[in-house]
Amino acid sequence: MAKIHKTEAEWRDSLDPETFRVTRLAGTERPFSHPGFPKSAGSFKCACCGAELFSQETKYESHCGWPAFYATKEGAPVAETRDLSHGMVRVEVHCDDCGAHLGHVFPDGPQDKTGMRYCINGVSIRFEPNEGAEG
């Protein structure tokens, strides 16, 4: 059950068009449209509601064109649903607090870690540096 309820019009007003399209209409941003998030220590938060979803520590370079993480932040409200669109069976991931579509999770992540790859749209998340972190 999502904690945050807004109408489509309310989300449209509070988000930029690309973020709205991806998070609320389950879109996908163009690959490689987010080349650079800062590499400094910090968290990635839901672009819609600000819930902490991922940590910089679990971000890795997957070369798939989208930010990739091998794990969610402990206790993060990341929920999964089976996605049968585009003739594929995939696992969609979204923010359980507000229902924002984030991306998909695939079982081809780093084997020395969790083996999972959270393939996340860059516009669905916002980077926030840790308090007092350098750079």
The residues, any chain, with a CB within 8 Å of residue 10's CB and separated by 6 or more, are none
Closest CA to 16 of 105, 93, 96, 126: 126
Shortest CB 72 distance to Zn ion, Å: 13
> How many other CB atoms sit within 10 Å of the CB of residue 125?
26
Active site residue 46: no
From residue 62 to residue 101, the character string flagging contacts with Zn ion as x (rule: CB under 5 A) and all else as - is ---------------------------------x-xx-x-
- Any contact of residue 102 with Zn ion (CB under 5 A)? no
Shortest CB 126 distance to Zn ion, Å: 11
In contact, 92 and 101? CB cutoff 8 Å: yes
Amino acid at 55: S
Whose tokens are 């794990």? That residue is 71
Shortest CB 74 distance to Zn ion, Å: 17
Shortest CB 77 distance to Zn ion, Å: 7
88 vs 82: CA distance, rounded Å: 10
Shorter beta-carbon distance to Zn ion: residue 50 or 65: 50
Shorter beta-carbon distance to Zn ion: residue 8 or 108: 8
Indicate the burial class of 25 (C-beta count within 10 angstroms; 0-12, 13-18, 19 or more).
exposed
Chain positions 32 to 51 lying near Zn ion, rule: CB under 5 A, are 46, 48-49, 51
Shorter beta-carbon distance to Zn ion: residue 44 or 66: 44
Binding site for Zn ion (CB under 5 A): 46, 48-49, 51, 95, 97-98, 100
| Active site residue ranges | 119
